[in-house]
């Protein structure tokens, strides 16, 4: 594999010195880019795009052609695992992901097959290999998966949800069944992420999009416990280099101390947790990633730069910060505003890394 020309992102995750704060954006390859929309149209559907190695590589690279990003992230979806378990993923225009089958009983959980990563999800690892080759050492490649709890909510509800009525009904009413489902998912996610690492992913992120919907005891038992299981099962060194792991629970700022204890290298923060507070609480134990409110990109160039500066100041001098949005970029964001953010991070962060 090619030598990395820019390893700022990996160095920051490991708490090592960098010349400027690295930056990437969740959902950086996506609907806000006109070139992405054109490629998706050519592909036919979102999942056809994910399954087409050449096109998945193309859309992963698109934001890197526009912006001075410090990492690429695999173009895929968190719901590839439930799809590989036979639940029939499809996308309803304007409605988001749906499943043809749901998982709501002990028998449903028992009948769920454990996917064979090579045969059922080989299109993902093929994309990882292809993207690594295309990157040619330009920046590191991030692999990812949804967390067991987040995947379970989609599988039980059959779609996205605001209340998680069926998922929480299982959690409280049939906790043993929920644990069986989460354990099956945790084992699959571990295999899936390890396959991505073997294929060339140089860091991995676990997206716990819906962990913040839980009470503290439920979060610790039904979400964090299974992410810890995954972290402990991951390949942590590959190609002679450490493979950092990032945990991101949206709405999880109140649990940072618990999250920092599970063995990940970095924690993602949404915009509701102040960077200075997070650094004071756990910054000596893990790197921190975040946390610009994606809606801030609807502001003016001046307000975007000001907010970037404020977040950098909140984190303060020193290492261990990866700049990111607090969640995925909005599909209606102006790409020019994304460029302003990325350039501002590099420019305004330099003084924080040059202090004696």
Asked whether residue 38 is marked as a ligand-binding residue, the answer is: no
Asked whether residue 28 is marked as a ligand-binding residue, the answer is: yes
Name the more confident of 90 and 38: 38
Interval 169-225: pLDDT, tens: 999 999 999 999 999 999 999 999 999 999 999 999 999 999 999 999 999 999 999
pTM of the model: 0.97
Name the more confident of 280 and 94: 280
Which one of 8, 11, 27, 51 is the catalytic residue? 27
Average pLDDT (158-163) is: 90
Which one of 8, 40, 51, 104 is the catalytic residue? 40
Task: State yes or no: pLDDT of 3 exceeds 90.
Answer: no
Q: Is 285 a catalytic residue?
A: no
Which residue carries 């454990």 as its tokens? 114
- Mean residue pLDDT of the chain comes to 96
CB atoms within 10 A of CB 35: 15
Give me the pLDDT at residue 2, please: 66
Which one of 51, 83, 120, 154 is the catalytic residue? 154
Dmax over CA atoms of the chain, in Å, equals 62
Res. 94 pLDDT band, cuts 50 70 90 = confident
Asked whether residue 77 is marked as a ligand-binding residue, the answer is: yes
Q: Is 277 a catalytic residue?
A: no
Return the sign of the alpha-carbon dihedral for residues 31, 35, 36, 40.
Answer: positive
Task: State yes or no: pLDDT of 356 exceeds 60.
Answer: no
Average pLDDT (12-34) is: 97
Q: Where are the alpha helices (DSSP H) in 136-255?
A: 148-157, 165-173, 175-199, 216-219, 225-233
Interval 237-295: pLDDT, tens: 999 999 999 999 999 999 999 999 999 999 999 999 999 999 999 999 999 999 999 99
Question: In this prediction, what percent of the chain has a pLDDT beyond 70?
Answer: 99
Which one of 31, 98, 138, 285 is the catalytic residue? 31
Q: Quote the CA–CA distance of 99 and 109 in Å, as a whole number.
A: 15
Q: Is 77 a catalytic residue?
A: yes
Give me the pLDDT at residue 84, please: 96
Domains of the chain: 8-353 (3.20.20.210)
- 196 CB-near residues (< 8 Å, 6+ apart): 74, 124, 125, 128, 143, 144, 204
Asked whether residue 27 is marked as a ligand-binding residue, the answer is: yes
Residues linked to residue 206 through DSSP beta bridges, in sequence order: 145, 247
Mean pLDDT lowest for which of 13-22, 88-97, 159-168?
Answer: 88-97
Res. 307 pLDDT band, cuts 50 70 90 = very high
Average pLDDT (125-141) is: 98
Asked whether residue 29 is marked as a ligand-binding residue, the answer is: yes
CB atoms within 10 A of CB 280: 11
Tokens of 252: 């999880």
């Amino acid at each position: 594999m090619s030598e990395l020309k820019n390893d700022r992102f990996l160095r920051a995750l490991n708490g090592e010195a960098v010349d400027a704060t690295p930056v990437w954006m969740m959902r950086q390859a996506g609907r806000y880019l006109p070139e992405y929309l054109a490629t998706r149209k050519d592909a036919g559907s979102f999942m056809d795009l994910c399954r087409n190695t050449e096109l998945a590589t193309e859309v992963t690279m698109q934001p890197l052609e526009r912006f001075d990003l410090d990492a690429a992230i695999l173009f895929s979806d968190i719901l590839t695992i439930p799809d590989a378990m036979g639940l029939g993923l499809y996308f309803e225009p304007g409605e988001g992901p749906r499943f043809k089958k749901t998982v709501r009983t002990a028998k449903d959980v028992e009948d769920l097959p454990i996917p064979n990563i090579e045969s059922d999800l080989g299109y993902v690892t093929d994309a990882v290999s292809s993207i690594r080759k295309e990157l040619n050492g330009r920046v590191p490649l991030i692999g990812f998966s949804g967390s067991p709890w987040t995947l379970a909510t989609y599988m039980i509800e059959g779609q996205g949800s605001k209340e998680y009525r069926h998922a929480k009904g299982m959690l409280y009413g049939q906790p043993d069944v929920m644990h069986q489902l989460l354990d099956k998912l945790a084992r699959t996610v571990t295999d899936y992420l390890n396959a991505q690492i073997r294929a060339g992913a140089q860091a991995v992120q676990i997206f716990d999009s819906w962990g913040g919907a839980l009470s503290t005891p439920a979060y610790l038992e039904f979400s964090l416990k299974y992410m810890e299981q995954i972290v402990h099962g991951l390949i942590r060194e590959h190609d002679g280099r450490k493979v950092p792991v990032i945990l991101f629970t949206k709405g999880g700022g109140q649990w940072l101390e618990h999250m920092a204890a599970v063995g990940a290298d970095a924690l993602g923060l949404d915009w509701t947790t102040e960077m200075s507070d997070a650094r004071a609480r756990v910054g000596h134990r893990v790197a921190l990633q975040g946390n610009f409110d994606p809606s801030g990109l609807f502001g003016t160039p001046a307000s975007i730069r000001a907010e970037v500066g404020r977040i950098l100041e909140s984190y303060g001098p020193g290492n261990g910060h990866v700049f990111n949005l607090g969640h995925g970029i909005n599909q209606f964001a102006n790409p020019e505003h994304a460029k302003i953010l990325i350039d501002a991070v590099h420019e305004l962060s330099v003084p924080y890394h040059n202090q004696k």
